[in-house]
Amino acid sequence: MALAYLLGKGASKVLHTKINIPLLLVLSILPDIDIVFGVLFHSPFHRGPTHSLIVAALIFIPVFIIYRKKAVPYFLGLISHFLIGDFIVGGQLLLLWPLSFSRFGLHELGFPFISIYSSVNVALELSLFVIATLVLIISRDWKVFFKGRLSNLVLIIPLTTVLLPSTIGYPFTDSLLVIEPALALAHIFYLVLFSIAVFATLVSLYRRWFGSGNKKPLA
């Protein structure tokens, strides 16, 4: 998510467009939806079609047609997950599925294998997290998460599929709090931030539906 935010933020500056940060962050973790399928249906097919550059490009064709340059930050956020993050760490990607069933990654190119829990990956992830957090603060993008906007509700997806499960362990076998506390801190930061965003939106919706105050629709 930190990598997607930095790339999307940079692209939006270059292209002079605005970005929906919650949507960008959700797109960045969307390829890992196959983990959920794996847990539910006992399928080992991780880093398959949902990590394909071809599939991502095909999905985004109508998005590019409609939104043109405004779609670029979101496309970068999506493909950064596997084209940069997973390519470097772990590899074994079906990057060109369905045209090819070959696995791709830095390790497949002959470089040493980097696991998710290796010190190299932990250092990379924490560095990206710190940089992204600083940019979030300096640019004042953090304010987005404290406003009652309907778009904030999409953050329920990373809350329930990534942040909460990886922190407490269930339905996975291990908790980051136990096996990698440093990464768990980053997860907890996003967990709290996203929870605030969802809660603020739900409160705003409640006040609009049941309150007697301003009836202005949420953005």
One pLDDT digit (tens) per residue for the chain, 219 residues: 999 999 999 999 999 999 999 999 999 999 988 877 666 666 667 889 999 999 999 999 999 999 999 999 999 999 999 999 999 999 999 999 999 999 999 999 999 999 988 999 999 999 999 999 999 999 999 999 999 899 999 999 999 888 888 888 765 667 888 888 888 899 999 999 999 999 999 999 998 888 755 555 666
Cα separation, 180 vs 117, whole angstroms: 7
Q: Give the closest residue to 31 by CA, choosing from 87, 69, 73.
A: 87
Tokens of 64: 């590019």
Contact 21, 5 (CB under 8 A): yes
Which residues neighbour 5 within 8 Å (Cβ) at sequence distance 6 or greater? Answer: 21, 24, 25, 28, 77, 132, 135, 136
Domain boundaries, the chain: 2-210
pTM of the model: 0.90
Tokens of 131: 């940089």
Instruction: For residue 212, give the amino acid letter.
Output: S
The DSSP-derived string for 161-175 is IIIHHHHH-TTSS--
φ, ψ of residue 146 to 5 degrees: the values are -110, 10
